[in-house]
Amino acid sequence: MTRIRFSFARGEALKHISHLDMMRLIQRALRRSGLPLVYSEGYNPHLRFNLALPLPVNVTASEEYGEVILADPVTPDQFMAAFGEQLPAGLDLTGAWIEDDYSAPALPSTVGAALYRATLVAEEGCRVDPVQYRQTLDRLLAKEEILAPKTKKKKTKKVFVNVRSYIYEAYFNEPEKERPLELYMLLQAGSRGGVSPFFVIEQLEKELTVECNYKAHWELHRERLYRDQDQFLKPLSEGM
């Protein structure tokens, strides 16, 4: 059996689909590719396939990861050709390699954090005041407690979690002419819990003291994924 990992980018054309849609899309693309796929045993066989971290709806990404088990040896080039051909516009396969260590943990359990970039897009004729945004962000980060509702299945009672510690870093880009305001957020993610970039932005907007009298919206992009190793974050791409 061959364990293949691959990286891909998601563009504008596909940013509106959900994680479940992505899972179905990729699995069907794999099924069309003619690659020697492996299915689980049992009544309801499913593909031996994983994505590293769900990508939220309305978010583009440059460096996402997936892995799939194949029955026969396949070179990364063969994989790239066969699978890449079956992907729709908006989903670009950027790399593939063989994971020799068959006992390596499954991809989802290796993810520890993700870096997001949120761009503030103002409608024509609107001027955004960067200073105000920077000050507001400082105020938000100075808090010791930021409570986020935690949705537990089948429980109606709302539970709140302090997610302040999940926000590892958050900063705006250096001001430049003709360049929109960009907020970078390094957020904890994965099986140990995390915080949604949309939630952080929502908190930021709540903190804005001056009423917004212009129309603007945020566009989100996930830059890369990290693993949490010996207390240090390393890009997931390293050592893969």
Partner 1 sequence: MQALDTKLKRLLSQVQKPARYMGNEWNARQKDHAEAAVRMVLAFPDLYEVGMSNQGLKILYESVNSRPGMLMERAFAPGMDMEELMRAYDQPLFALESGKPLAEFDLIGFSLQYELSYTNVLNMLDLAGVPLYADQRGESDPLVVGGGPCAFNPEPLAPFFDFFVLGESEECLPELLSGLDRLKKEAPDRKELLVRLSEWEGIYVPSLYQPAYKEGKFSAIERTDSRAPAVIRKRLVRDLDRAPYPTAPIVPYLQAIHDRAVVELFRGCSRGCRFCQAGYIFRPVRRRSRDKLVETAKQQIAETGYEELSLASLSSADYPDLEELINELDRGLYGEQVKCNLPSLRLDSYSIKLANRLHRGKRSNLTFAPEAATERLRRVIRKNISEAEIFSALNDAVDAGWQGFKLYFMIGLPTETEEDVEAIVDLCRRLRQYFRHKSSRKIGISVSVSTFVPKAHTPFQWEPQLSLPEVTRRQEILQQGFKKMPGIDLSWHDAETSFLEAVFARGDRLLAPALEKAWSLGCRFDGWSEHFSMPGWRQAFRETGIEPEDYALRRFGYDDLLPWDHLHCGVDKAVLIREHQKAFNIDKPEQGEAQ
Q: Which residues bind partner 1 (CB under 8 A)?
A: 12-14, 16-18, 20-21, 24-25, 27-32, 39, 43-45, 57-58, 86, 88-90, 217
CB of 31 to partner 1, least distance (A): 4
Q: What is the largest CA-CA distance in the chain?
A: 61
Interatomic CA distance for residues 17 and 58, integer angstroms: 7
CB of 142 to partner 1, least distance (A): 30
DSSP 23: H
Interatomic CA distance for residues 29 and 116, integer angstroms: 27
Q: Do residues 26 and 65 touch, judged by C-beta distance below 8 A?
A: no
- By C-beta, is 88 or 239 nearer to partner 1? 88
DSSP 37: B
- By C-beta, is 14 or 185 nearer to partner 1? 14
Interatomic CA distance for residues 75 and 79, integer angstroms: 6
- By C-beta, is 25 or 141 nearer to partner 1? 25
CB of 174 to partner 1, least distance (A): 26
CB of 76 to partner 1, least distance (A): 21
- By C-beta, is 208 or 216 nearer to partner 1? 216
Of 110, 93, 76, give the one whose Cα is nearest residue 25.
Answer: 93
- By C-beta, is 32 or 150 nearer to partner 1? 32
Backbone angles phi, psi at 22, to 5 degrees: -65, -45
CB of 57 to partner 1, least distance (A): 7
